[in-house]
Amino acid sequence: MYKIETKKNIAENIFRMDVIAPYIAKSALPGQFVIVRTHEQGERIPLTICDFDKNKGTVTLVVQVLGASSKKICEKKQGEYITDITGPLGNPSEFIKFTNEQLASKKFLFVAGGLGSAPVYPQVKWLSLHSVKPDVIIGAKTRNMMIFENEMKPLAANVFAATDDGSYGFKGLVTDMIEELIVNQNKKYDEIIAIGPMIMMKFVALASKKHNIKTTVSLNSVMVDGTGMCGACRVNVGGETKFTCVDGPEFDGHLVDFDEALRRQTMYKNQEQQANCKCI
């Protein structure tokens, strides 16, 4: 049993929870995820680790109410318990293997869409602790849906906000903001790391490819079981079949077959609708 030490509503239907899990906090690295179950027969829910505090022994999770299982997690109150949290799982971000000299020589641009700001945060934080200040684009539909902007600002060289409706920051998609930075502001980047909706990552990869910029994407949204046994997270990367949970969750965005991944995301749509009906 894992106690929810703090819980905060940070945007509409988006909650941030600090959970006491000392062994996970001790081993966690940016890019990794955990599997959460709210009760004994509960669905296994993969959640990217948003933050971790080795001294306090806490792991930060950010959950958006989208389906039946995420709703059950978000209904938990501060002081209550989550039945199971397993992790850390998956491979950490590639850049943690770099030497300080390699890190210092690279210019990173992070592109976070919607809930993707949560898994981007620990990566930006880790780089900042190693004296690297990346640029960050945070995209959201509206200002009220933007998260982690304030947390990111002290860690990044620049944080650029982009909203679909123009209610805050740059009006337009994150891909429009990328073009603004590279073409109009003449910024140079060695790598783009994009985390967010699958369709967003697809178009970020297309945009970066024409500028010949290495692009890494996180495909955690297609995971189900989190162990590689269910096969639901199969993706085609450079013509090879990969399992997101054990081979990723991060991959070369220019090699991912996003159309196949988008189709895979809809595989359990009917089951999810039925589960939602039972929760009402």
Question: In this predicted model, what pLDDT tens digit does every residue of 153-189 receive, in sequence order?
Answer: 999 999 999 999 999 999 999 999 999 999 999 999 9
pLDDT band for position 8 (cuts 50, 70, 90): very high
Fold classification of 94-218 (topology level): Rossmann fold (3.40.50)
Mean pLDDT rounded to a whole number for the chain: 91
CATH 2.40.30.10 region(s) of the chain? 2-89
CA 105/CA 189 separation, integer angstroms: 11
* pLDDT digits 0-9 by tens, 114-126: 999 999 999 999 9
Is residue 61 a contact partner of residue 47, using CB atoms and an 8 Å limit?
yes
Give the mean pLDDT of 74-95.
Answer: 95
Of all residues in the chain, what percent carry a pLDDT higher than 90? 81
Of the listed ranges 209-213, 259-263, 270-274, the one predicted with least confidence: 270-274
pLDDT of residue 280: 45
Contacts of 179 (CB under 8 A, 6+ apart): 207
Higher pLDDT, 187 or 279: 187
pLDDT of residue 268: 52
CATH 3.40.50.80 region(s) of the chain? 94-218
Give the mean pLDDT of 5-9.
Answer: 97
What values do phi and psi take at 61, rounded to 5?
-120, 140
Contacts of 98 (CB under 8 A, 6+ apart): 106
Asked if the model's pLDDT at residue 46 lies above 80, the reply is yes
Of all residues in the chain, what percent carry a pLDDT higher than 70? 94
CA 27/CA 30 separation, integer angstroms: 10
Asked if the model's pLDDT at residue 275 lies above 70, the reply is no
pLDDT of residue 9: 96
pLDDT of residue 277: 44
Is residue 21 a contact partner of residue 157, using CB atoms and an 8 Å limit?
no
* pLDDT digits 0-9 by tens, 22-43: 999 999 999 999 999 887 777 8
Higher pLDDT, 147 or 45: 147
Contacts of 48 (CB under 8 A, 6+ apart): 31, 32, 33, 118, 119, 218, 220, 249
pLDDT of residue 220: 87
Strand ordering across the sheet containing 84-89: 45-48, 33-37, 84-89
Domain 2-89 CATH class label: mainly beta
In the chain, what is the straight-line distance between the N-terminal and C-terminal CA atoms, in Å?
26
pLDDT of residue 279: 45
Asked if the model's pLDDT at residue 197 lies above 60, the reply is yes
